[in-house]
Amino acid sequence: MWCQRPITDTRLTCISNFGVATYSGMLPGVLAGQYESQTMQIDLVRLCAQVDAQLIVNQVTRLDLATGRIEFADRPSIPFDALSIGVGSVPARPLAVRADAVIPIKPMQTFLARIASAIETWRAADEKRLLRCVVVGAGIGGIEIACCLPAYLGWQHGLDHRDFSLRVITSDDQIGRGVAVRTQHLVRQAFARHGIEVTLGRRVVGAEPGSITLSDGQQLEADVVIWAAGARGADWLSELGLPLDDRGFIRTRPTLQSVADDRIFAVGDAGSIEGYNLPKAGVYAVRQGPVLWHNLQATLTAGQLQPYQPQRGFLKLINTGDGSAIAEYKGFAAAGRWAWKLKDRIDLPFIRMYQVDGTASGMLDANNSAPRSAEDEARLIRCTGCGSKIGGSVLSRALARLEIPVNPQVILGLDAADDAAIVRSDASGMLTATVDFFSAPLTDPYHVGRIAALNAASDLFAMGATPVAALALVTLPLGSESAQEETLYQLLSGCLYELRMMGATLVGGHTTEGATLSMGLSMLANQTAQPPRTKCGLRPGDELYLTKPLGSGVLLAAHMRAACHANWMSALLDVMLQSNQAAAAQCEAWGVRSLTDVTGFGLAGHLWEMLRASDCAADIQLSQLPLLPGVLELIQQGVASTLSPANRHVESDINVSHLDRARPEYDVLFDPQTSGGLLVPMPAALIASNPKIREQLSVCGWPKIGTVVPHDMGHQPRLQVRP
């Protein structure tokens, strides 16, 4: 709905503790091997990229209702004008049930991995012993998990019915509370086909690894205990300061608003509508979607809100894991393969609505989604040049909210801001300066600030300099003062986080307005390595190592097309947010004399600069290049950074076969890196004199990608590329 008609002058932000969301209705089918695991997943990274929404992958800790801000444990808070909480429910587990003894079905993103880990523990202990499996809870979720588990044990772990036992335990006196009698009968038939035993009317009151305790005192041995009993609100909901019901869910009005705060909505399992006693079923969340969308818009525009009217009944489809399903509607129940086909026909189109295919079709230009009024157009006409500077009030308010670290070498900084900063040199008398600037590669300004600081400081680390002070250069998108202030605050907060880690501080900067968010830093550093590590110190025999994998340019280009999967983005962020300071310090300890970082010119460009400065050549092995996940796949699909063609200017100095030139790894040589790693030439004599260095390189995870060789001043290319 946002993609079709985004709200004018409004930023949509999605917050999740995972980069993917999981559709619970298809989890049993994945367990039974009827679907691939990615079929049930909504990739939030790609979805948010497609609709131009900001994605924050983090855990919310609390709400500041007075200021309207959402707080996190390890990053700055963000503001909200309207907030929807749809975090589902968690299984209700007694205190005496140890967390390491059971496998809750939530979070579903890690459910399969946790089952596999428990089975591997059983194998390691005594594979010849029967695997004892227990499912606690006999609601529809527990029934489906129990019915699909035998198939999972077969296709994933090679076990048949003689290798395991399976029992369902419920405190109810019947299977499937709330379903029809006929449905209960069909479930029992399915259980009988799978050899599933049932224990009714007894609760699991305790659990330790290897055993569970029932309410009548009986103890049962168990290797895999899947917890699907009951539903309650997540513990952290109690920290939000909102009224909850007796099961820990957020109390709401029929409009889905919290009874205590009109700005906050709670939907799906997370909410509990006063006056209704609804079962926790996903069908209600789906039907609440259009009402939520209408009411969010009404909240932001002072419009009329709509109440949600729950449907009285709905179709229940229970996957029995053997190609059949049980269907129940308004008391009628039947089973068969037709019911499974019906379930499949409903589930697949539903989940595919939220799965991005990576093409540009269907994408909407949020900036042109609705005509602007004359007043809007006038407001957007802004001056350029020095007239485009951000207002002093915005800048001063954003700076006032920051904690600027103190550095004794800063004589004049932001504490008494002037036209320029004054920094005292250290005893060496040498200050090293650098500057770096880029358009924001992500929608999260906090991460953009962190990456900008790391990217700018990387040149200093490579030369053996210790950062002291930084000047921030920021271009903010057009918008209201409050929006610009918040963006600037998030940017500089991320920047300051990394500056603190490297022992530097922020002393000033410059802000301007523009079409897109951009940030860079001009940095000063003490030149601690003497002599400085430069690009001209290579010698024949040096071995070449890389400290980070390659491919960030390809992945960021894919992200602009909503084609970068969540797991790829997670790996990319880990690399871009990894400082080169520790790697540079290790090189200093080894006595490495020449170093460079791999950034915008790509590996080939930066290596070519070193080879030319040192009058050497090099042999590179494509098969040894470390690559980020997804890079080869994307290159084969034709995805590339727009800077890659310009980086190929060094190809005239590269010798490569036609066959190797066609390999996707060859294209990676020209891929521009954002916050890339270091290219480390290890002197052959140094490695020969200290054999432990090669072992240390392996521990660091730095692969050898090639060797420096002599350069013939004739027609020999600088770079020989081999498979």
Does the pLDDT of residue 204 top 50, yes or no?
yes
Q: The dihedral of CA 308, 311, 312, 318: what is its sign?
A: negative
Does the pLDDT of residue 368 top 50, yes or no?
no
Of 230-244, 249-263, 523-537, 546-560, where does mean pLDDT reach its minimum?
523-537
What would the two tokens of residue 619 be? 């042999």
* Pairing, β 224-227 against β 131-136: parallel
Residues paired with residue 20 on neighbouring β-strands, in sequence order: 43
Distance CA 690, CA 669 (A): 31
Nearest residue to 499 via CA among 475, 476, 528, 466: 466
Q: What angle do CA 61, 271, 92 make, to 5 degrees?
A: 75
- Tell me if 146 sits within 8 A of 194, measured CB to CB: yes
Please enumerate in sequence order all residues whose Cβ is within 8 A of that of 714, keeping only pairs 6 or more positions apart, or say none.
none
Residue 585's alpha-carbon distances to 469, 501, 576, 674, in angstroms, are 19, 14, 18, 21
When pLDDT is cut at 50, 70 and 90, the band that residue 427 belongs to is low
This model's pTM is above 0.75: yes
Percent residues over pLDDT 70 in the chain: 92
Please enumerate in sequence order all residues whose Cβ is within 8 A of that of 44, keeping only pairs 6 or more positions apart, or say none.
14, 16, 18, 19, 20, 21, 55, 57, 566
Nearest residue to 52 via CA among 264, 364, 351: 364
Higher pLDDT, 667 or 414: 667
Peptide bond before residue 254 is cis, with ω within 30 degrees of 0: no
Nearest residue to 547 via CA among 622, 468, 603: 603
pLDDT at 416: 61
pLDDT at 136: 96
Mean pLDDT of 68-91: 94
User: Best-predicted range by mean pLDDT among 385-389, 498-502, 593-597?
Assistant: 498-502
Catalytic annotation, pick one of 3, 383, 386, 536: 386
Which CATH code is given to the segment(s) 13-89+233-311? 3.50.50.60
Please enumerate in sequence order all residues whose Cβ is within 8 A of that of 413, keeping only pairs 6 or more positions apart, or say none.
404, 407, 421, 469, 505, 506, 507, 508
Distance CA 213, CA 341 (A): 39
10 Å Cβ neighbour count for 275?
6
pLDDT at 667: 96
When pLDDT is cut at 50, 70 and 90, the band that residue 390 belongs to is low
Residues paired with residue 14 on neighbouring β-strands, in sequence order: 55
- Tell me if 63 sits within 8 A of 71, measured CB to CB: yes
What would the two tokens of residue 524 be? 């000063």
Record: fold of 543-722: Phosphoribosyl-aminoimidazole Synthetase; Chain A, domain 2 (3.90.650)
Residues paired with residue 527 on neighbouring β-strands, in sequence order: 465
Distance CA 349, CA 275 (A): 33
When pLDDT is cut at 50, 70 and 90, the band that residue 214 belongs to is very high
- Tell me if 89 sits within 8 A of 106, measured CB to CB: yes
pLDDT at 399: 78
Nearest residue to 56 via CA among 490, 353, 612: 490
Q: The dihedral of CA 617, 623, 626, 629: what is its sign?
A: positive
Higher pLDDT, 671 or 691: 671
Mean pLDDT of 475-485: 91
Residue 133 falls in the annotated catalytic set: no
Question: Is 282 strand, coil or helix?
Answer: helix
Q: At residue 104, what are phi and psi to the nearest 5 degrees?
A: -65, 150
pLDDT tens sequence across 160-181: 999 999 999 999 999 988 899 9
Nearest residue to 209 via CA among 122, 150, 142: 122
Record: fold of 91-230+315-368: FAD/NAD(P)-binding domain (3.50.50)
- Tell me if 232 sits within 8 A of 281, measured CB to CB: no
pLDDT at 387: 42
- CATH 1.10.10.60: does it fit domain 385-527? no
When pLDDT is cut at 50, 70 and 90, the band that residue 381 belongs to is very low
Nearest residue to 556 via CA among 448, 677, 702, 437: 448
Task: Check if 13-89+233-311 and 543-722 are the same fold.
Answer: no
Peptide bond before residue 408 is cis, with ω within 30 degrees of 0: no
What would the two tokens of residue 234 be? 């997540």
Count of residues making up the chain = 723
pLDDT tens sequence across 608-620: 989 988 899 999 9
Distance CA 332, CA 315 (A): 10
What would the two tokens of residue 706 be? 């090639």
pLDDT at 337: 96
**Domain boundaries of the chain, sorted by first residue:** 13-89+233-311, 91-230+315-368, 385-527, 543-722
